[in-house]
Structure 1
């Protein structure tokens, strides 16, 4: 039987593209099959009416070790957020920054009501503690919930409710902070040791850069793989492709094979975009909504971070709504969002709705995480491997690492 490649990669998200890059660097022939019309999976950027819209608000953490080894940061033209956040509460808005990395925020941080003075000292202590703790050590620690961890570290209810809860909810996409303490320490370390950034032309530039290693004939779109049999795959259109190995790099809900991860729990998010003539705030920060019963968790003014996000020069406002809002009346949802935000930003009543994304599978559940999936985890059988962040933890770093490990597993198997 004629082989189309040595390895077929099913899925052109971050994990699959990373695997393809590693395989090609090892001189292995690959064929990447993607069901959609573009690369990126959950990390894609659309152009809508002159605006760049990421499918779900995301930031890239420059301290990610896998990314540092595999991406060209200069070519991505990364644009950075300032460390810290704007805290939106019943009293108004105040800034909680990082005086160590940005001395200009010292006074506003000291005056912020979002944390007690002792909390601010504990925050510094936590940064120093994690600076001296390796990633391997973090992921070998016993797991407790993030909520339990924060209490154990001595943080007050004030800073938990005013900062940690909305900030980590925006990252973990769950508002109970049941996410593993390992994940909290890892993410906090990454924020402390690098920058939160976005590529100037959208998050979609990350997978596009990874895909640069592929020739047009090595990356086929609109290929919905439904059957995997040994080294062969078949699409819903009846097309068949053959290889020595197959690597499944889809999220578990789209996997063409049944395995123990197929029913993994996951988190959803809705991402709403508005345009306006005037920015709601000028600081290159994320604003966090701390009110109970809120709809909007966090706000980002993306054109303030990168002016490439707005061709016209009007402002582009991204709102993150945690959970599944796809069944809500969309007009009422927009009205409720504006009504909620006009307390801090009265001009929100004149914002123009641009687009809303409802993302069912946005992140895997991270109540239990690892950073080193075993060989038996990524190898399904003699000819089939799997990769994806759900095998480790919900992050771009984990997606890339799982792709690399699966590719290396295939390469090593070929040598036997």
Structure 2
């Protein structure tokens, strides 16, 4: 391919304007460097994107904003996001009816299902209390240094029975880790559990895409170029898909794992988890509460009425229901999910209108334990990996 050189030489080029690339570019600009941020798509966000479909606001896959995410307070103007919270806890659909799993310190009046014998035994509740207290109160550094293995083994070691694992932890964590074997790193589970206990799950008024949009708005002018794909890295910088070469001695690859593997041959790329989110419109909300619902029979990962959390997600007053499933279900599987939703919500779903469907490949990297929680970002001289 014939190349033409960009006359400008940059201190650093960041490839990929997801939240990792945006944060990296912002930090480099803050250090006084001349930075160019290149994004192949038409806007920023990577997997954190929001679509406007049929009068609804629908994120590209079900996503939540946790106020205890690392660096959120440092980087984000939370007030500008106009966050609205989910009800603390989860509704679990069981064969005995709905059971509410909640933090009794936040919603004591909603904690009756935590009485022994309803959702869990007294022994399980004691084990869960001890596990949660440790994760919520211990410094994150202590959890990172803990013994690692699979999440299922960590729960067993904490004294959680297989019954509570199957009733609550497996259905709930399948939607968090996008795998239903509880094989994810135990240390990672403890850190995630800690963040949920300490933070609040919310949705921005304009969808999850408002988060990367806010980061992008803080970049200096002319740093960001969208619609600009990088074809390869060279000793002098990067070559764009249109043949132009951008000169720099430092390149930060902040793309998804597959593209990162193409740009940096030899980079260890983890297996990705795929998830599909189905969006349905209903004339009336099947549930008025802004709460996440999971199914003990694991016919789907989770579901919620998004417009109960953020009424702005609908322009005509109809309810928007989000439901996520592993992989990419076919028509028969999708129909079975909709029927299951009718049972879980206790309503007729035949008239629900499918308005959007999003399949996200490599939505999360697989992280079976034991696994390193951090990796070196320096790949080679002048070459770094971010995200």
TM above 0.5, one fold? yes
- Aligned residue in 2 for 1:161: 166
Q: How does 1:195-344 map to 2 (within 5 A)?
A: 195-215=200-220, 217-255=222-260, 256-291=262-297, 294=299, 296-325=300-329, 328=330, 330=331, 332-344=332-344
Q: CA deviation at 1:30?
A: 1.2
Structure 1 residues 347 and 196, CA, compared in 2 at 3 Å: closer, same or farther? Answer: same
Distance in 2 between the 1:44 and 1:320 partners? Answer: 16
1:125 pairs with one of 117, 130, 149 = 130
2:156 pairs with one of 131, 145, 151 = 151
1:46 pairs with one of 37, 42, 51 = 51
Structure 1 residues 69 and 323, CA, compared in 2 at 3 Å: closer, same or farther? Answer: same
Provide structure 1 residue ranges, at least 5 long, that are not aligned to the other structure: 389-416
- Aligned residue in 2 for 1:177: 182
- Aligned residue in 1 for 2:191: 186
Structure 1 residues 365 and 260, CA, compared in 2 at 3 Å: closer, same or farther? Answer: farther
Asked if the contact 2:12/2:36 (under 8 Å) is kept, the reply is: yes
Q: CA deviation at 1:23?
A: 1.0
Q: Deviations over 1:124-160 (max 9, x none)?
A: 2222111331111111112110001111111122211
Q: Deviations over 1:161-190 (max 9, x none)?
A: 111111111000000000011011001100
Distance in 1 between the 2:91 and 2:136 partners? Answer: 25
Distance in 1 between the 2:161 and 2:104 partners? Answer: 20
SS where residue 115 of structure 2 aligns?
A: helix
- Aligned residue in 1 for 2:36: 31
- Aligned residue in 2 for 1:353: 354
Aligned residues: 379
| More divergent stretch after superposition (45-54 vs 98-107) | 98-107
Runs of 4+ in 1 over 4 A off after TM superposition: none
Q: CA deviation at 1:216?
A: 5.0
- Aligned residue in 2 for 1:67: 72
Q: CA deviation at 1:212?
A: 1.1
- Aligned residue in 1 for 2:368: 367
Q: CA deviation at 1:215?
A: 4.2
SS where residue 104 of structure 2 aligns?
A: coil
Q: CA deviation at 1:282?
A: 1.9
Please tell me the root mean square deviation across aligned C-alpha atoms, in Å.
1.8
Asked if the contact 1:85/1:96 (under 8 Å) is kept, the reply is: yes
Structure-2-length-normalised TM-score? 0.93
Distance in 1 between the 2:117 and 2:241 partners? Answer: 56
SS where residue 350 of structure 2 aligns?
A: helix
SS where residue 142 of structure 2 aligns?
A: helix
Structure-1-length-normalised TM-score? 0.87
SS where residue 380 of structure 1 aligns?
A: strand
Q: How does 1:11-26 map to 2 (within 5 A)?
A: 11-26=16-31
Q: Deviations over 1:262-290 (max 9, x none)?
A: 53211110111001011121222100011
Asked if the contact 1:83/1:101 (under 8 Å) is kept, the reply is: yes
Q: Deviations over 1:34-63 (max 9, x none)?
A: 111111101111111221111111112211
SS where residue 65 of structure 1 aligns?
A: coil
- Aligned residue in 2 for 1:384: 383
Asked if the contact 1:114/1:158 (under 8 Å) is kept, the reply is: no
Structure 1 residues 133 and 259, CA, compared in 2 at 3 Å: closer, same or farther? Answer: farther
Distance in 2 between the 1:107 and 1:200 partners? Answer: 32
| More divergent stretch after superposition (129-138 vs 265-274) | 129-138
Distance in 2 between the 1:258 and 1:243 partners? Answer: 16
Distance in 1 between the 2:218 and 2:10 partners? Answer: 15
Structure with the bigger percentage of helix: 1
Structure 1 residues 260 and 150, CA, compared in 2 at 3 Å: closer, same or farther? Answer: farther
Asked if the contact 2:113/2:119 (under 8 Å) is kept, the reply is: no
